Amino acid sequence: MQFVETGYDAFDWTVPKEWNIRGGYIEDKNGNRILDFSDSNVHIMGYSTPIDKTVSLEDLQEHIFSIPELPDAIPYMTSYYKENWAFCMTDSMRQGLKDDQYHVKIDSTLEPGQLDYADLVIPGESSKEVLLSTYICHPSLANNELSGPVLATALARWLSSAPRRYTYRIVFVPETIGSIIYLSKHLEHLKKHVFAGYVLSCVGDDRSYSYMSTPSENTYTDLVAHNALNMLGIEYNHFSFLERGSDERQYCSPNVDLPVGSIMRTKYGDYPEYHTSLDDLNVISAEGLEGAFRVMSEIIGTIENNRTYKSVIPCEPFLSKHDLYPTGTSYLSNAENRDLVNLIAYSDGHRSLLDISDVIEAPVSYLHGLAEMLVEKKLMELVE
Amino acid sequence: MQFVETGYDAFDWTVPKEWNIRGGYIEDKNGNRILDFSDSNVHIMGYSTPIDKTVSLEDLQEHIFSIPELPDAIPYMTSYYKENWAFCMTDSMRQGLKDDQYHVKIDSTLEPGQLDYADLVIPGESSKEVLLSTYICHPSLANNELSGPVLATALARWLSSAPRRYTYRIVFVPETIGSIIYLSKHLEHLKKHVFAGYVLSCVGDDRSYSYMSTPSENTYTDLVAHNALNMLGIEYNHFSFLERGSDERQYCSPNVDLPVGSIMRTKYGDYPEYHTSLDDLNVISAEGLEGAFRVMSEIIGTIENNRTYKSVIPCEPFLSKHDLYPTGTSYLSNAENRDLVNLIAYSDGHRSLLDISDVIEAPVSYLHGLAEMLVEKKLMELVE
Amino acid sequence: MQFVETGYDAFDWTVPKEWNIRGGYIEDKNGNRILDFSDSNVHIMGYSTPIDKTVSLEDLQEHIFSIPELPDAIPYMTSYYKENWAFCMTDSMRQGLKDDQYHVKIDSTLEPGQLDYADLVIPGESSKEVLLSTYICHPSLANNELSGPVLATALARWLSSAPRRYTYRIVFVPETIGSIIYLSKHLEHLKKHVFAGYVLSCVGDDRSYSYMSTPSENTYTDLVAHNALNMLGIEYNHFSFLERGSDERQYCSPNVDLPVGSIMRTKYGDYPEYHTSLDDLNVISAEGLEGAFRVMSEIIGTIENNRTYKSVIPCEPFLSKHDLYPTGTSYLSNAENRDLVNLIAYSDGHRSLLDISDVIEAPVSYLHGLAEMLVEKKLMELVE
């Protein structure tokens, strides 16, 4: 884990004071506790200044957030850059407030401190890097927060379990300011090494799959993501960069210009529990997380296995001679044989396995296995 | 106003004799005047040779044009390059002619003279030119003639009212031979300076909007026209160069090759009154002309304001610090803020405002205003 | 006619023994001849080893091919590279076999010999070549065999009947190994000279038209074929190279990489009689073959006539002066005039007649005639 201190300048931004909160509540004039921070981490607006006084209902109303359309949801609110205090509550609770005096108490501090973040670099054969980035800033929210670090951690464990061709950089940062700080520390290195990257956001529910492209929509990052999702037979929502909302905003900004897309199940803002207390463990599931893991491991497998080969022999090889004819002594099925023959026919030294995969609709990892078998049989050679 | 004399050679063409007409009529044997040129400028075929004799109905029929499908329309006809004479009349009038002798008289002259044309060059900061061309040759016709010079004149006045970035060249010529003559006089200059241009034709009716592309369909001229029409929210007919019929035939010919498209309301040939006496002031309207003016001023505004900027700061700027955050002290609305943030995100020094406008669907002139504000705030710099 | 001997090595392949067959039959225990090779060339699996013995029905069944779905069809089978023997019969015949002893006799030889093939090179002005390839290996089958050599022969006669701009190379080979042998003998020459080519396969039926693209789908070969088929107003099936099955597999393989597409009426595998005794003279017709001839002659006409011209005069020429104005002394119709004017307008020295044909939808051969007339009138010049 790393940190920067309050006052640290990152490009156009400055790290603000550190906010800590010990508790807070609203009590009526009889001392009945109507709302208590210990019931929900989102009951007090993030970054609220400390307060301890008695106010009229009218004054209190100006410091309450609720959502009339979702009467049982507590909204998640913050005010990082404008000093203020507020309580967040269900609209049902708000409607029950009487015209009375209330004691409001927020036991918070806003003092010079630090902003924490972390990264994990898993070295591979090559110093070329794949960037995976997720965020750590929404307290107690499940899909739009916890799911990302959970998936990133699972991927980190899986990536560490075997040697990899590429280096993987997994970044855990508070959204926006965290990625800006991270970029301010590592920009030159990242611009030199990162050739693909994905923000992991809202990857825990089981309602849909989503991909958001880089601004140009045709980077290697985009081509791999579309290929992997298609090879898995997944129908997914395709969002343009115009719909961005997480750290791709920083990674893809003009002077950073890293090829970073976003992998999501259901996109932030597109599900009803988003940014409320309802985005809890009921929204995410093992199936939801596992689906996102499957997509990311297919993407990584595609990146790891995407190479370019060239067929060696003019014309088709005599398959029987190489034990590759399906009705002969080959261990290949008819379908495998068809893919093998297509792989040979399209491997001209220019088309990558990814290019060929898009044409013949067979996964890159599987084509890589066939290609390596053909290399052993001296029917194909690796170009790059 | 400028002119060339009869016999002047322009590329493959030669300026013919000048035609003038003082009057003409058809009288029956009782001296009743059946048709009189003074009733309509299109009653006598343009370029008719003089005639003064008595002819049978049978002979007269060979010198009459009418339109059976439009019995109340007088067709507009010319015969510039084949000497002939003819009367144009409604088909109702023609059907009423009796088998009799008729006195036909055309008091015209065909003599060495001159062909008049005009241009107006409104200098801008740059010597790079936008060409606007319209034609002056169809007597008394409203949409397919008068509307073009009216619009061109209004644009000239507007363009002269303030300093402009580019130079504007507004050309008034008889169709075909006029533009050929104009090109023969100015070809080298125009090839060097003109980077966009539009023929203005049939711009007065209020039935539709039309754009005809340059042959390649993707010149700057085309991109600007499509963008401007889309930004105005106008649904328009898009014609290919295969449907050409006005002076773009000359401007876009292979050895001229200027990027000239055509702006029209309802295209020549596509409305029933076309090339008849019915194309009168009833066909055009203030609303029709104003719509065309709005399109052309949007096109010109787009050309004037299209520049390329580069965001200066890596990552998104801290908007509050620059008074640009919508809920803060900014004067920006949420929508403006979204456009501003998109403008920053897409301004990589390569994409022009026009490119960005096509992506984020906000007008170039408006983006230019935002960009200049960002330049003042040192968040963006002008690339070109 | 040329040949290679058994044992000849062509890239990865070796020419196998030569198979000859004099006869063969199945007799029941009473000496009744149930099946006789003299009834059908496909009654014995191609490349069957000699056999002469008595077998039980159970054993015989393992050496019989039939098609339950097509009970009256004898399937066409071969086993070139796995030594075996088999009879092919209708499924009706097979169902009538009794549990008995059968005398099976195949009087064939598999001995060192030769593989025959042929080519015909028809020289043209240029040493640049168009390759036409067809196959000679399916005995007695009509659409999927005979139609190809018939068309190739008719084209050869037609091509020889007049001087041609390009050289035509017409190749007759057994499918697969024949084209591999041919390529092994001529690869360098072909790679240097062939700029377009077509495999002729299944070109005799009258049910549909088909074109299979080269792998890249946008070679000159492909552009010409699509243009020619469109100019003939033919609706056709467009197959990708993924559906390949004839000698384009060799011609388009990575280290050969010749631009060879396939012209077919109904594609092999897509008609019910394919690879059975039903693919006989009833499947093909004069109309079927004539349609394929028409396509190939249009393709060849397009290739022969496709040149690039440049208009000489800036602006449109004064057509009347050159006797080209339709209502004047011109011999051109209005439609011809429109094509002529378009040809002049689009001939910028870069667009070929093929490019222009695709835009203005007029055949290349016809545009070539107009262009040459314009060259004579000094309105156009040949660029290449």
Tokens 């995407």, located at residue: A306
Are A129 and A167 in contact by the 8 Å Cβ rule? The answer is: yes
Quick one: pLDDT at residue C327?
A: 64
Please report residues of C whose CB lies closer than 8 A to that of B183: 314-315
Query: What per-residue confidence (pLDDT) applies to C82?
Result: 87
Q: What are the contacts of B157-160 at 24+ separation with CB within 8 A? A: B158/B297, B159/B122, B159/B300, B160/B122
Radius of gyration (C-alpha) of chain B in whole angstroms: 26
Extract the tokens encoding C118. 């042929």
Residue C161 φ/ψ, nearest 5 degrees: -80, -10
Q: Which of A6, A39, A1 has the alpha carbon at shortest distance from A23?
A: A39
CB-based contact (8 Å) between A334 and chain C?
no
Predicted confidence (pLDDT) at residue B361 exceeds the cutoff of 60: yes
Query: Is A335 part of the contact surface with chain C (CB cutoff 8 Å)?
Result: no
**C196–chain B nearest CA distance, Å:** 27
Record the pTM. Answer: 0.93
Secondary structure of A228-273 in HEC code, one letter for each residue: HHHHCCCCCEEECHHHCCCCHHHHCCCCCCCCEEEEECCCCCCCCC
Q: How confident is the model at residue C133 (pLDDT cuts 50, 70, 90)?
A: very high
Four-point Cα dihedral A116, A122, A123, A125, nearest 10: -150
Contact flag C315-B252 (C-beta cutoff 8 Å):
no
At A139 the pLDDT is 87
pLDDT digits (tens, 9 = 90+) for B39-91: 999 999 999 999 999 999 999 999 999 999 999 999 999 999 889 999 999 99
Residue labelled with tokens 């960037």: A131
**Least trusted range by pLDDT, from A201-215, B2-16, B316-330:** B316-330
pLDDT in the model for residue A323: 87
Q: Between these two residues, B17 and B330, which has the higher pLDDT value?
A: B17
pLDDT of residue B335: 87
Q: What percentage of chain C carries pLDDT values higher than 90?
A: 93
Report the distance separating Cα A151 and Cα A262, nearest Å: 13
For residue C250, CA distances in Å to B248, B384, C171, C259 come to 50, 52, 13, 11
Distance from CA of C352 to the nearest CA of B (A): 13
Report the C-alpha gap between C6 and C12 in whole angstroms: 14
A9 three-class SS: strand
How many Å apart are CA A15 and CA A80, to the nearest integer? 11
Evaluate the CA torsion angle B76, B80, B81, B84 in order and state its sign. Answer: positive
The pLDDT value recorded for residue B329 is 57
Mean pLDDT of chain C: 96
Tokens coding B74: 């007088």
Q: Is A314 in contact with A371 (CB distance < 8 Å)?
A: no
Q: Which residues of B touch C342 (CB under 8 A)?
A: 242
Residue B325: predicted pLDDT: 79
Is pLDDT above 60 for A328?
no
Closest CA relative to residue A241, chosen from B230, B376, B229, B351: B351
Residue B107 exposed, middle or buried by CB count within 10 Å (0-12, 13-18, 19+): middle
List, in sequence order, the alpha helices (H) in chain A. 57-61, 91-95, 147-160, 177-193, 220-231, 248-251, 286-305, 334-346, 353-360, 364-376
Q: What per-residue confidence (pLDDT) applies to C47?
A: 96
d(CA A274, CA A278): 8
Distance CA A204, CA A266 (A): 8
Strand partners, B72: none
* SS3 of residue B134 by DSSP: strand
φ/ψ region of A356 (left if φ > 0, alpha if ψ in -120 to 50, else beta) reads alpha
**pLDDT on residue C324:** 87
3-state secondary structure of B116: strand
Strand partners, C119: C171
Instruction: Out of B13, B82, B183, name the one closest to residue C318 (CB).
Output: B13
Question: Which residue type does C84 have?
Answer: N
A157 burial (CB, 10 Å; 0-12 / 13-18 / 19+) is exposed
Compute the average pLDDT of residues C95-120: 97
pLDDT tens-digit series, residues C194-222: 999 999 999 999 999 999 999 999 999 99
Beta bridge partners of C106: C24, C51
Tokens describing residue A109 = 């501090």
Determine, for residues C325 and B81 on separate chains, whether the beta-carbon distance falls below 8 Å: yes
| Structure confidence at residue C48 as a pLDDT band (50, 70, 90) | very high
C-alpha distances in angstroms, C136 versus B150, C144, C150, C172?
74, 10, 11, 6
User: Can you tell me the distance from the alpha carbon of A339 to that of A366, in angstroms, rounded to the nearest whole number?
Assistant: 10
The predicted pLDDT at position C218 comes to: 96
CB B131 within 8 A of CB B189: no
CB B136 within 8 A of CB B181: no
A residues 238..267 contacting B (CB < 8 A): 241-242, 244, 249-250, 252-257
User: What does DSSP assign to residue B239?
Assistant: E
Rounded to 5 degrees, φ, ψ at C3 are -155, 160
| pLDDT value at residue A329 | 56
Higher pLDDT, B324 or B240: B240
Q: Which two tokens stand for residue A326?
A: 């399906």
For residues B330-349, give the mean pLDDT: 90
CA torsion, ordered B34, B39, B45, B48, to nearest 10 deg? 80
User: Which subunits count as partners of chain C given 3+ CB pairs below 8 Å?
Assistant: A, B
ipTM of the shown complex: 0.93
Cross-chain residue pair C348–B256, CB shorter than 8 Å: no
Contact at CB, B254 and C315, closer than 8 angstroms: no
Strands B129-135 and B167-173: parallel
The 10s digit of each residue's pLDDT in C358-380 is 999 999 999 999 999 999 999 99
CA of C217 vs chain B CAs: smallest distance (Å): 23
Q: Does C350 touch chain B (CB under 8 A)?
A: no
Please report, as a single letter, which amino acid is at residue B6. Answer: T
- pLDDT of B334 > 90? The answer is no
pLDDT at C328 over 70: no
Q: Which strands, in side-by-side order, build the sheet including A308-311?
A: A348-352, A308-311, A380-382
Q: Say yes or no to pLDDT of B333 above 90.
A: no
Q: In this model, does residue A345 exceed pLDDT 90?
A: yes
Q: C198, C34 in Cβ contact below 8 A? A: no
- Which chain A residues touch C174 with a CB distance below 8 Å? none
pLDDT band at C330 (very low <50, low <70, confident <90, very high): low
Please answer whether residues C162 and C300 qualify as being in contact, where contact means their C-beta atoms are separated by less than 8 angstroms: no
Question: Which residues on neighbouring strands pair with residue A361, listed in sequence order?
Answer: none
| Nearest CA-CA partner of C319 in C293, C338, C303 | C338
Residue A380: closest CA among chain C residues belongs to which residue?
C254
Mode of pairing for the β-strands spanning A114-122 and A167-173: antiparallel
Q: Which tokens sit at A31? A: 């001392």
pLDDT for res C334 = 83
pLDDT tops 80 at residue C329: no
> Does residue C367 contact residue C336 with C-beta atoms inside 8 Å?
no
What 3-state class would DSSP assign to B295? helix
Q: Which of C12, C183, C242 lies at the smallest CB-CB distance from A317?
A: C12
Euclidean distance between CA atoms B187 and B195, whole angstroms: 13
CB within 8 Å: C180 and A316: yes
3-state secondary structure chain C: CEEEECCCEECCEECCCEEEEEEEEEEECCCCEEEEHHHCCCCECECCCCEEEEEEHHHHHCCEECCCCCCCCCECCECCCCCCCCEECCHHHHHCCCCCEEEEEEEEEEECCEEEEEEEEECCCCCCEEEEEEECCCCCCHHHHHHHHHHHHHHHHHHHCCCCCCEEEEEEECCCHHHHHHHHHHHHHHHHHEEEEEEECCCCCCCCCEEECCCCCCCHHHHHHHHHHHHCCCCCEEECHHHCCCCHHHHCCCCCCCCEEEEECCCCCCCCCCCECCCCCCCCCHHHHHHHHHHHHHHHHHHHHCCEEEECCCCCCCHHHHCCCCCCCCCCCHHHHHHHHHHHHHCEEEEEHHHHHHHHCCCHHHHHHHHHHHHHCCCEEECC
Pairing of strands C308-311, C380-382: antiparallel
C226-243 b/e (C-beta count within 10 Å ≥ 16 → b)? bbbbbbbeeebeebebeb
pLDDT tens sequence across A73-99: 999 999 998 899 999 999 999 999 999
With contact defined as beta carbons under 8 Å apart, do B316 and B361 qualify?
Answer: no
Using a 10 angstrom Cβ sphere, with 0-12 exposed, 13-18 middle and 19 or more buried, the burial of residue A99 is: exposed
Q: What is the 3-state secondary structure (H, E, C) of B5-19?
A: ECCCEECCEECCCEE
A253 and B321 within 8 Å at the Cβ level: the answer is no
> How far is it, in rounded angstroms, from Cα A328 to Cα C374?
64
Q: What percentage of chain A has pLDDT greater than the value 90?
A: 93
Show residues of chain C in contact with B179, CB under 8 Å: 315
| Cross-sheet strand order for the sheet of C210-212 | C2-5, C114-122, C167-173, C129-135, C194-200, C260-264, C210-212, C237-239
